[in-house]
Amino acid sequence: MKFAIQINTSPYQTNAGYTAYQFIQAAISQGHEVFRVFFYHDGIYHAFKYATPPDDEIPFAAQWSELSRQHQLDLVVCISAAQRRGLLYFDEAGRQGKVDNDLAEGFRISGLGQLVEATLAADRFIVFG
């Protein structure tokens, strides 16, 4: 089965993002396809490269990067939700006259059209958070 996933809450607001992470791992390990993971609302906080939790805590952004690398997972961060909260990729920062490069490895920035496309392509669409 083909899944599309949306994540709406930040790592330290609820554990919904980590639940989604575990769901995706389980789905892939059972032979399902995850078409896209879309980070929206405060979910975009999963994509901050410089999040630096203490060593005994889960490094969420780094784990997403690793999952993306292992399974060529398409991790998309909504551009408007991201900019509103100060997460800028270097090219967008340049266009805004700012210097910044916050996006963790394996994520990409795009628009809401990518979310609608994912809901159209998937057999099941699940919102976490």
Partner 1 sequence: MKKYLFVLRKPPHSGAFVQEMLDIILTTAAFDQKLALLLLDDGVFQLKQGQNPESLGMKDTASIFKALEIYDVHDIYTEVESLQERGLKPVDLCLPVREFYRKDIAGLMKQYDVVFAG
User: What does the binding site for partner 1 look like in residue numbers (CB under 8 A)?
Assistant: 40-41, 80-81, 84, 111-113, 115-116, 119-120, 125, 127
Name the residue nearer to partner 1 (CB basis): 32 or 41. Answer: 41
In angstroms, the CA 76 to CA 34 distance is 12
Name the residue nearer to partner 1 (CB basis): 25 or 119. Answer: 119
Catalytic residue among 78, 87, 88, 103: 78
Name the residue nearer to partner 1 (CB basis): 57 or 123. Answer: 123
Q: Which residues pair with 5 in a beta bridge?
A: 37, 126
CB of 119 to partner 1, least distance (A): 5
CA angle 26, 47, 73 (to 5 degrees): 40
Copy the structure tokens of residue 96.
Answer: 């805004």
| DSSP state at residue 37 | E
What's the distance, Cα to Cα, between the start and end of the chain in Å? Answer: 22
78 is catalytic: yes
Enzyme catalytic residues: 78
